[in-house]
Amino acid sequence: MSTTEPRSDKRPVTDWETDWDHTDPAWVANPYPIWESLRSACPVAHTERFGGAWLPVTHDAIHAISYDTEHFTSRSVVVSELRPGDNDLPAPIGIAPPITSDPPFHADARRLLLPAFGPKVIAGYESFTRDLCRELLDAVADRDIVDAAVDYAQDIPLRVIVKMLGFPQSDAEVFRRFIHMILEAVDVPAEERMNEREGGELDAYLDARIAEHLAEPRDDLTSFLLQAELGGEKLHPDHVRGTMVLLLVAGIDTTWSAIGASLLHLATHADDRRRLVDDPSLLDTAVEEFLRVYAPVTMARMVAHDFEFEGCPFKAGDWVLLPFPAANRDPAMFPEADKVLIDRAENRHAAFGLGIHRCLGSNLARMELRIAIEEWLARYPDFELDDPSRVTFSAGQVRGPRRIPVRVR
């Protein structure tokens, strides 16, 4: 399988313990053996790249760092050559609350969003999601080869969030362009990418929708955000727009990656595909297992002040990459960690993160994933990967297949 090429001006990695780079083509293509060998070599790897960064690969270490908000800040959650500038909003708020916030502010910023992503609210979007999946499958019904990523997985989270925000479905194209810009700029920190926002086009679009909702409140996520209060005050429209951008960044390519990885697995493992078709009651455990094995999201922290972690001299301002996907493959936590067991009963995976920043959209992501797989299998109980050499993966901290050509008949 080929990969989306990361920057070509970088030195290839020859020593993963002392010089790792998560944008190296070897990592992008297949990070799992790298993490496996690091797990036995050292608890935490280091690199001088990115101005100095650490890489824990065991479940224990990733867990400990995620829960330790005293020594680690979420001020910047994407490792890059560009460090957060002095003009950026400092912790505890950060540029995209709550994901870039630290305690105590984080709890308030998170609390105000929670009701919009609770299980009951999300269940209300199930029938829309199901109809959408069917519509996407109808649109390619005459083809023998369908791209499960481009023609299907990509559109599902995009159009569901457009629906939740109360925007016209015909405007999904604005967001699609924005997401492409984000995915192409893998070496630019997400915070900066959020600032670029398509030369102001996205901001102008969101401002227009916010103005409409202020004039005429509706029963949707935009009006919910405009009515939400923080410290007894309504959110400023700029804050609402920032939160919308965060939801787009956090919710679309993550879920697209998870749906795509699951369909890629089923396209290449006929035994699991047949088992799931014959016994749909396995769907819930299968979804959790796909999330565990193909977890798409790696986050980062910055060291808040100098201290020693597992014998390593962490210095204030060092990056720490948090590969939740590596935690999910740790054999000390999961028996047969590299195996996909679609009926795995005990599965406390870390795909949605650990600690105070645990994914706020997990109900939504799970719902989309379950319905996407269910509807795909209802339409195509039999399908297989057409050309493995045309499968590509995204580079960067959200990893997932971006091209999955499958033969459906």
Cβ 335 to ligand HEM shortest distance, Å = 22
The span from the CA of 67 to the CA of 51, in Å, is 24
User: Between residues 17 and 374, which has the closer beta carbon with respect to ligand HEM?
Assistant: 374
- Which residues between 144 and 163 bind ligand HEM (CB under 6 A)? 157, 161
- Per rule CB under 6 A, is residue 365 in the interface with ligand HEM? yes
β-bridge partners, 234? 229
Contact yes or no for 181/198 (Cβ under 8 A): yes
Q: In what order do the strands lie in the sheet with 405-407?
A: 145-147, 405-407, 384-385
x/- mask, ligand HEM, residues 108-127, rule CB under 6 A, reads --x-----------------
Contact yes or no for 195/188 (Cβ under 8 A): no
Contact with ligand HEM (CB under 6 A) among 3, 23, 254, 262: 254
Query: Which residue's CB comes closest to ligand HEM?
Result: 361
- Per rule CB under 6 A, is residue 297 in the interface with ligand HEM? yes
User: For the chain, what percentages of helix, strand and coil (3-state, to nearest 5) are there?
Assistant: 50, 10, 40
Provide the residue count of the chain: 409
User: Between residues 250 and 333, which has the closer beta carbon with respect to ligand HEM?
Assistant: 250
Enter the tokens of residue 327. 């935690």
Q: What is the DSSP string of 102-124?
A: -TTHHHHHHHHHGGGGSHHHHHT
User: Between residues 6 and 157, which has the closer beta carbon with respect to ligand HEM?
Assistant: 157
- Per rule CB under 6 A, is residue 74 in the interface with ligand HEM? yes
Contact with ligand HEM (CB under 6 A) among 213, 357, 379, 399: 357
User: Between residues 110 and 130, which has the closer beta carbon with respect to ligand HEM?
Assistant: 110
Pairing status of strand 53-56 against strand 319-322: parallel
- Per rule CB under 6 A, is residue 359 in the interface with ligand HEM? yes
Cβ 346 to ligand HEM shortest distance, Å = 20
- Per rule CB under 6 A, is residue 255 in the interface with ligand HEM? yes
The span from the CA of 88 to the CA of 254, in Å, is 25
The span from the CA of 227 to the CA of 238, in Å, is 14
- Per rule CB under 6 A, is residue 296 in the interface with ligand HEM? yes
User: CA Rg, the chain, in Å?
Assistant: 21
Q: What is the DSSP string of 254-303?
A: HHHHHHHHHHHHHHH-HHHHHHHHH-GGGHHHHHHHHHHHT--B-EEEEE
x/- mask, ligand HEM, residues 310-349, rule CB under 6 A, reads --------------x-------------------------
x/- mask, ligand HEM, residues 20-59, rule CB under 6 A, reads ----------------------------------------
Enter the tokens of residue 358. 């645990």
Choose the binding region for ligand HEM from 42-50, 80-88, 180-188, 242-250 (rule: CB under 6 A).
242-250
Cβ 361 to ligand HEM shortest distance, Å = 2
Instruction: Determine whether 9 is exposed, middle or buried from the number of CB atoms within 10 Å of its CB (0-12, 13-18, 19+).
Output: exposed
x/- mask, ligand HEM, residues 187-226, rule CB under 6 A, reads ----------------------------------------
> What does the binding site for ligand HEM look like in residue numbers (CB under 6 A)?
74, 77, 98-99, 110, 157, 161, 246-247, 250-251, 254-255, 258, 296-297, 299, 324, 351-353, 357, 359-361, 364-365
